[in-house]
Amino acid sequence: MAKLITCEWDSNSVRLLVSSVQGNNLAIDKMVEIAISKESDSDSSLTPLESALAAAAKAAGLRGQSDVVFVLRRAQTEMRLLTLPNIPVDELPDTVRFQVAQEFNTADEGPIDFAVIGETDDNQIFVSVATVAPEVLADVIATSNMAGLTSSSVVLSSFSTAHFLHSQTPTSQHRLIIDLLDGEIELTVSHNGMAQFARSVKLPESGLTSQRVLAEVRRTIASYSNQPTPGDIEIATIVGNSKLHQKIQDELSQHLMIDVDLYNPLDDCIVTSLDNSDAASTPDEPAQFTALIGTAYQLQIGETATLDFVNPRKPPAPVSPFRQNLKYIAVGVVGILLAAFLLIRPIMTAQNRIEQLQAAVQDKPSKDKANKALTDRLQQITSFEDSRINWLDELVSMSNKFPPPQTGPGRPLCSENVYF
């Protein structure tokens, strides 16, 4: 399969991943992280972010305009869980957009995408809805173009990470995913590989501490308990396995009544190259590439992204008046042809019967002549049979004319004595 490029950035750095598939595993060909300069280059027309992205593309060996799948973080979007009537699928886009206008803070002209994640007992559905401000999406597309990249899709990290963890470590339990990012913590509650609830917490300048993570985890558990979806969080997964991750695992295990484990995304990937040439550098914390890895894995195995702000779910396109009229004309033509067939068929059947009778009438003289010849021959045979001498009958007649035995000379013949 062709190589796939996934990318994301935050306020400090740009991360770019080039991947392919080897067997059933994701192969990481390039994993590049470039720091964003705090000062602009007076000799370049590019902004520091555009320069960093262009440098990452060059370090990854990309040439020319390349398609890239951009991954947005939870903090860059607005995401909520809605409960809606179980209506037909083609009516959901308009219904969701109406609810977003009522309940979301983001301007309603922004792209909206959603995913149905479950049903209730009273014939309703749970829909996870996310939207992004138009200026955020425009900035992503414009920045990518300036760096020689084309954003073919823009997806949400929460869903990519949830899908990847479930595919590699499946569980039927509700899982809390703790992703320690640069400057923030992203907490996602997932079930069966679908993100049901997600929140992002910006870290203070003092940095990350295990106590801060514990406090935010407790807030997330409390917030999720107020959601309409059934089930409680039963397991927590910390993305990464560094000493800091292990320390946080110990802290959470001591204070929470749930299982806490660590997960390193590179354990389930084939890392073929970590380029450290030019401006590229091997990332200090590969766990921060989890969303990029999850997005690449989902697309490389042939699935579509759960949410895509460039290609969101839309209602069916309305039928144009021309096509509608064309449909009516086609129906009318078919009706006329059917009526003509029903009218012509009896006439054609009668015509065929008439032709058969005419053919029979034309053949009648020849058949009568043949029948007369056969009748004449039969009469001749009968006459011959009647006039022919039957010799058996003649013998019987002659025997009846012979004299009786007593009138002969000598003594009569008998069974006992014979006279001569």
Rg (CA), the chain: 48
CB atoms near residue 207 (< 10 Å): 8
CB atoms near residue 244 (< 10 Å): 16
Secondary structure (3-state) at 115: strand
Predicted confidence at residue 276, as pLDDT, reads 46
Predicted confidence at residue 279, as pLDDT, reads 43
Q: What is the pLDDT of residues 44-90, one digit of tens each?
A: 788 999 999 999 999 988 888 889 999 999 999 999 999 999 988 88
Determine the Cα–Cα distance for residues 273 and 19; give it in Å rounded to an integer: 10
Q: Is residue 366 in some structural domain? A: no
Q: Is residue 131 in some structural domain? A: yes
Determine the Cα–Cα distance for residues 168 and 161; give it in Å rounded to an integer: 11
Determine the Cα–Cα distance for residues 143 and 149; give it in Å rounded to an integer: 8
Q: Is residue 282 in some structural domain? A: yes
pLDDT band at 419 (very low <50, low <70, confident <90, very high): very low
CB 180, CB 320: distance < 8 Å: no
Predicted confidence at residue 418, as pLDDT, reads 47
The residues near 337 (Cβ < 8 Å, ≥ 6 apart) are: none
Q: Is residue 93 in some structural domain? A: yes
Give the β-pairing of 66-72 and 149-156. parallel
Q: Which amino acid is at 77?
A: T
174 vs 359, higher pLDDT = 174
Q: Is residue 367 in some structural domain? A: no
Which residues span the domain enclosing 85?
Answer: 4-300
Q: In whole numbers, what is the pLDDT of the chain averaged over residues? A: 86
Q: Is residue 402 in some structural domain? A: no
Give the β-pairing of 233-239 and 174-181. parallel
Q: Per the structure, how many domains does the chain have? A: 1
Q: Is residue 189 in some structural domain? A: yes
The residues near 44 (Cβ < 8 Å, ≥ 6 apart) are: 51
CATH of residue 270 = 3.30.420.380
By C-alpha distance, which of 327, 297, 299, 294 is closest to 311? 299
Q: Is residue 280 in some structural domain? A: yes
